[in-house]
């Protein structure tokens, strides 16, 4: 675990590690906590940043739109050689999301997926309910338009943003534990004006950053193994 780490320096280190990788370079998992920062993905639009104020905005080369990192959030950066692992990007995203779902389950909270919106969500009216969301991903007819995300009665607790270079991943997943969520109100999180963001503390779970990071790391390691 890196612990507290400056975002820009961590990004440079991830890029350097990935650029220098060879066939025998080991996969690694970095876990850290960043100072307050807005990060803008490759698809990011400036209108989704409403009022940055004193919080810096860093443009990155990950996928996705704008999000917020800050104290009380576990940020996990798996750097995996997918070719060596034997699975593709969609499977990598699924496995990463599944690790968050298993971490939430450790705390008695049910994690959900929402069609058309990567990441993991919690039902606001009953965070422990196992009932399926009506807006969960469903089988689509080939060639049909992607679904419009429906954020009714859900809050986003974990956001994904990844980059794959020469079949190697970096960037990763941000898991909200106990943080000041107010900066999310100064952006459209992940590009959605109607999206609410929550953390473990907001659904009644009291835990430490270290414990949540340890649990998430364990589940990521299990899920990302080939």
Mean pLDDT value across residues 131-143: 91
pLDDT at 1: 66
Q: How many CB atoms lie within 10 A of CB 205?
A: 17
Whether residue 49 has pLDDT greater than 90: yes
Banded pLDDT at 140 (limits 50, 70, 90): confident
Number of domains in the chain: 1
CATH number at residue 34: 3.30.930.10
Own/partner pairs, 163-169, CB within 8 angstroms, 24+ separation: 163/61, 163/62, 163/63, 164/82, 164/89, 165/18, 165/19, 166/18, 166/21, 167/81, 167/82, 167/83, 168/18, 168/21, 168/79, 168/80, 168/81, 168/82, 169/78, 169/79, 169/80, 169/82, 169/92
pLDDT tens by residue, 158-205 = 999 999 999 999 999 999 999 999 999 999 999 999 899 999 999 999
Q: How many CB atoms lie within 10 A of CB 4?
A: 10
pLDDT tens by residue, 65-88 = 999 999 999 999 999 999 999 999
In terms of residue numbers, what domain contains 37? 3-224
Structure-block tokens of residue 188: 């459209």
Give the chain's mean pLDDT: 95
pTM here is 0.96
Mean pLDDT value across residues 22-46: 94
Q: Which of 120, 190, 203, 216 is catalytic?
A: 190
pLDDT at 80: 97
168 as an active site residue: the answer is: no
pLDDT at 158: 98
């Amino acid at each position: 675990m890196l612990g507290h780490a400056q975002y820009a320096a961590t990004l440079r280190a991830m890029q350097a590690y990935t650029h220098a990788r060879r066939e025998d370079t080991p996969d690694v998992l970095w876990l850290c906590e960043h100072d307050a920062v807005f990060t803008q993905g490759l698809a990011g639009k400036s209108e989704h940043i409403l009022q940055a104020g004193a919080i810096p905005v860093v443009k990155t080369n990950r996928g996705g739109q704008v999000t917020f990192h800050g104290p009380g959030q576990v940020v996990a950066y798996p750097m995996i050689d997918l070719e060596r692992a034997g699975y593709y990007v969609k499977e990598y995203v699924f496995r990463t999301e599944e690790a968050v779902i298993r971490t939430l389950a450790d705390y008695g909270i049910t994690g959900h997926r929402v069609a058309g919106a990567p990441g993991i969500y919690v039902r606001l009216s009953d965070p422990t309910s196992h009932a399926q969301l009506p807006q969960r991903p469903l089988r689509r007819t080939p060639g049909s338009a992607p679904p419009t995300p429906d954020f009714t009665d859900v809050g986003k607790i974990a956001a994904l943003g990844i980059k794959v270079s020469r079949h190697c991943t970096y960037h990763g997943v941000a898991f909200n534990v106990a943080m000041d969520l107010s900066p999310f109100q100064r952006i459209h999180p992940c590009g959605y004006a109607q999206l609410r963001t929550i953390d473990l503390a907001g659904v009644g779970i009291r835990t430490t950053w270290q414990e949540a990071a340890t649990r998430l790391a364990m589940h990521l390691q299990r899920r990302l193994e080939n």
